[in-house]
Structure 1
Amino acid sequence: MPRVVSLRLEKIQRDFLWGGGALERKPHLVNWDTVCMEKRKGGLGVRCLSILNRALLCKWNWHFAIERENFWRHVISRKFGEEEGGWSSRDVRESYGVGFWKEIRKEGALMQNKVAFLVGNGRRVKFWKDIWWGNLPLCNFFPSLYAFASFKEAWVEEFWDTSGVEGVWSPRFSRPFNDWEVEEVERLLLTIRGARLSPLMEDRMRWKVTSNGSFSVKSLYNDLSSRRAGLFPHGLIWNPSVPSKVCFFAWEASWGKVLTMDQLKKRGWAVANRCFLCCEEDESIDHILIHCSKARVLWELLFALFGVCWVLPSSARETLIEWRGFMLGKKHRKVWKAAPLCLFWAVWMERNRIAFDNEDFSVHRLKNSFVCNLWVWTKSIVNEGPLTLPSFIDWLGAR
């Protein structure tokens, strides 16, 4: 897939995600690289098409290496030639056009340091430069010896001496050893003494990223897209008992990317930054959901329903990370895990009624919205027959 096509498709994906299902221009709240991360790392698990495309192209380099008898490989090999060992074709150096194999061959570099070799007869594996014994090439393990090796491009077979009964390793060097180098040579021979050649077996390539040694697009994609990320409460956010739109809102809140007044100001809007609920502090998502005096009323209700005493952290993300239910029973713990998402949603809906519908703040409506939603979303967990709202509230307190 040409790069311009993958970029266009990714733009369509972004517009669809943030446009509410319509391909229209709306603010893209979270960086696309973050969206493409795994859910456990804080993303949405959306495939990055540009990385996926590279992994798919690289797959054909793997097939070229292992499918030696296939007709298509003979065609490519005859047209472009092969590198030593026959594991890859030569680089395509055409100065014009965008040949299909030219693009594929460029992505062959992704396989570097991700493949090793299972030595058979040793005719296609470099002794010093390929990974065939251990996790690194021998030239990296023994750089001082490699510096004065006679044949730096030698094949494994060339250093295997079959004159003895069982065969021995006999690497060659360009000069006699100094006294301090003898020990290093002994260490080299001790390292590879367990390796043996099998004259009737072909050398094989092994993919180091997977346990079975076979290449997979998924393994390369995961390796290319891996990013270090801090703790993220993915297990709490993507709760199967909670509606998807509420989970998505909690995900946005965890990244601090909900369109509150502070975010609108960052995007260039000339607006007065004031919390719609308490009208006392600047509005941010952490203030609305955690610190606002109106939201605190709901937190106190939640803790009272479960009979729990807890100190809230400073942010929505930290709250979800630290949210535990160790002292609760199995069913109560499941409801407990849905409770903060339900509270976030109730507070946000109340805020929007005030901001967009010009309604006055109602603590009764806020509490009722929270309790009723929690009951509707989680009553199936209780599994004790028809469960009325009063019975549900009694059940929460009867741990």
Structure 2
Amino acid sequence: MPRVVSLRLEKIQRDFLWGGGALERKPHLVNWDTVCMDKRKGGLGVRRLSILNRALLCKWNWRFAIERENFWRHVISRKFGEEEGGWSSREVRESYGVGFWKEIRKEGALMQNKVAFLVGNGRRVKFWKDIWWGNFPLCNSFPSLYAFASSKEAWVEEFWDTSGVEGAWSPRFSRPFNDWEVEEVERLLLTIRGARLSPLMEDRMMWKVTSNGSFSVKSLYNDLSSRRAGLFPHGLIWNPSVPSKVSFFAWEASWGKVLTMDQLKKRGWAVANRCFMCCEEEESIDHILIHCSKARALWDLLFALFGVCWVLPYSARETLIEWRGFMLGKKHRKVWKAAPLCLFWAVWMERNRIAFDNEDFSVHRLKNSFVCNLWVWTKSIVNEGPLTLPSFLDWLGAR
């Protein structure tokens, strides 16, 4: 896929995510690299098309290595030739080689450090240069011995001596050993002594990234897009009991990227930054959801319903990370995990009524919204027959 095409498609994805089906131009609140991270790391799991395209192209290099009898492989092999061992085609260098296989062959470099070999007869695996015993090529593990190896391109089979009863390893070198090199040779033989050749079995390529040794586009994509990230409460945010729009809001709040007054000011808006609910402090998402005196009343209600005493952390993200519920039973813990997202949503909806509908703050409406939503979202978890709102509240307190 040409780079300009992938960039255009990703722009359409971004505009759809933040602007909706009409592709309206609206603020892109979270960096696209963050959006494309795995959900466990704090992203939305959206695939980067450029990386996905490379992983898909690389799959054809894997298929070339293992599908030796397929017709398409014979065609490619006859046209471009094979590297020694037959695991890959030769690099396409000719001016006429500007088609699809030239681009596929380029992406074969992605496999270089991610494959190992399961040795059978040893005829297609390099003794020094391929990873066939241990996690690194022997030329890297024993560089001083590799420097005077008799053949740096030798196959594994060439160093296997079948004259004994069980066979033994007999690597060859270009000169006699010096005294200080004997110990290194002994270490080499000790390292590979557990390896044995099976004359009737073909050598096999193994994909190191997966546990079963088979290539997958997903595993390569994840490896290429790996990015360090701090703790993120993905399990709590993407709760199946909670509506997806609420989970998405909690995800935005965890990154501090909700369009509160402080964010509008950062984007150049000339607005007075004041919390719509308490009218006492500057508005930020952490203030609205955690520190606002009006929201605190809702937190007090939540803790009273579960009979829990807890000190709230500084931010919404830290609150979700620390929201464990170890002291509760299994069913109560499931409701407990949905409770902070329900509270976040109730507070945000109340804030928006004040900001956009010119309504006055109502603590009764805030608490009623929270309790009713929590009941509707989680009553299926309780699974104790028809559950009215009063009986649901009684059940919460009877943990």
Please indicate the TM-score interval, normalised by the length of the shorter structure.
Answer: over 0.9
Deviations 1:54-103 (A, max 9, x none): 11100110111122222222221222222222211121224578410011
Deviations 1:339-370 (A, max 9, x none): 11111011111111111112222222212211
Q: TM-score normalized by structure 2?
A: 0.94
Q: How far 1:209 sits from its partner (Å)?
A: 1.8
Deviations 1:279-331 (A, max 9, x none): 22111100110011111111111112222111000000111111122222222
- Runs of at least 5 residues in structure 1 that lack an aligned partner in the other structure: none
Decide which moves more: 74-83 or 385-394.
Answer: 385-394
SS of residue matched to 2:205: strand
Kindly tell me: are residues 67 and 378 of structure 1, through their superposed partners in 2, closer, same or farther at Cα, counting changes over 3 Å?
closer
Q: How far 1:129 sits from its partner (Å)?
A: 0.6
Q: How far 1:210 sits from its partner (Å)?
A: 2.0
Kindly tell me: are residues 127 and 275 of structure 1, through their superposed partners in 2, closer, same or farther at Cα, counting changes over 3 Å?
same
Q: In 2, distance between residues paired with 1:165 and 1:382?
A: 68
Decide which moves more: 77-86 or 388-397.
Answer: 388-397
Deviations 1:84-131 (A, max 9, x none): 222111212245784100110111011011111122232221111101
SS of residue matched to 2:117: strand
Decide which moves more: 10-19 or 129-138.
Answer: 10-19
Deviations 1:112-152 (A, max 9, x none): 11111122232221111101111111011111111222221
Matched, 1:197 2:189: no
Q: In 2, distance between residues paired with 1:389 and 1:212?
A: 50
Aligned-residue CA RMSD (Å)? 1.8
Q: How far 1:198 sits from its partner (Å)?
A: 3.3
Question: What is residue 21 of structure 1 aligned with on the other side?
Answer: 21
Q: In 2, distance between residues paired with 1:393 and 1:175?
A: 85
Matched, 1:109 2:121: no
Decide which moves more: 96-105 or 179-188.
Answer: 96-105
Q: In 2, distance between residues paired with 1:347 and 1:178?
A: 78
Kindly tell me: are residues 385 and 159 of structure 1, through their superposed partners in 2, closer, same or farther at Cα, counting changes over 3 Å?
closer
Decide which moves more: 145-154 or 325-334.
Answer: 325-334
Decide which moves more: 115-124 or 176-185.
Answer: 115-124
SS of residue matched to 1:74: helix
Question: What is residue 322 of structure 2 aligned with on the other side?
Answer: 322
Question: What is residue 41 of structure 2 aligned with on the other side?
Answer: 41
Q: How far 1:42 sits from its partner (Å)?
A: 1.5
Question: What is residue 166 of structure 1 aligned with on the other side?
Answer: 166
SS of residue matched to 2:196: coil
Matched, 1:2 2:2: yes
Decide which moves more: 49-58 or 262-271.
Answer: 262-271
Deviations 1:168-215 (A, max 9, x none): 322222222111110111111122223233334332211122222221
Q: In 1, distance between residues paired with 2:307 and 2:193?
A: 67
SS of residue matched to 1:264: helix
Question: What is residue 364 of structure 1 aligned with on the other side?
Answer: 364
Q: How far 1:375 sits from its partner (Å)?
A: 1.9
Question: What is residue 120 of structure 1 aligned with on the other side?
Answer: 120
Decide which moves more: 32-41 or 101-110.
Answer: 32-41
Decide which moves more: 338-347 or 380-389.
Answer: 380-389
Deviations 1:18-60 (A, max 9, x none): 1133322211111222222222222222222222211110011
Q: In 2, distance between residues paired with 1:215 and 1:265?
A: 48
Q: How far 1:165 sits from its partner (Å)?
A: 4.4
SS of residue matched to 1:64: helix
SS of residue matched to 1:205: strand
SS of residue matched to 2:251: helix
SS of residue matched to 1:370: helix
* Equivalences, count: 399
Decide which moves more: 263-272 or 88-97.
Answer: 88-97
SS of residue matched to 1:117: strand
Question: What is residue 96 of structure 1 aligned with on the other side?
Answer: 96
SS of residue matched to 1:379: helix
Q: In 2, distance between residues paired with 1:338 and 1:185?
A: 62
Q: How far 1:278 sits from its partner (Å)?
A: 1.4
Kindly tell me: are residues 345 and 147 of structure 1, through their superposed partners in 2, closer, same or farther at Cα, counting changes over 3 Å?
same
SS of residue matched to 2:303: helix
Q: In 2, distance between residues paired with 1:331 and 1:306?
A: 12
Q: TM-score normalized by structure 1?
A: 0.94
Kindly tell me: are residues 273 and 160 of structure 1, through their superposed partners in 2, closer, same or farther at Cα, counting changes over 3 Å?
same
Kindly tell me: are residues 333 and 167 of structure 1, through their superposed partners in 2, closer, same or farther at Cα, counting changes over 3 Å?
closer
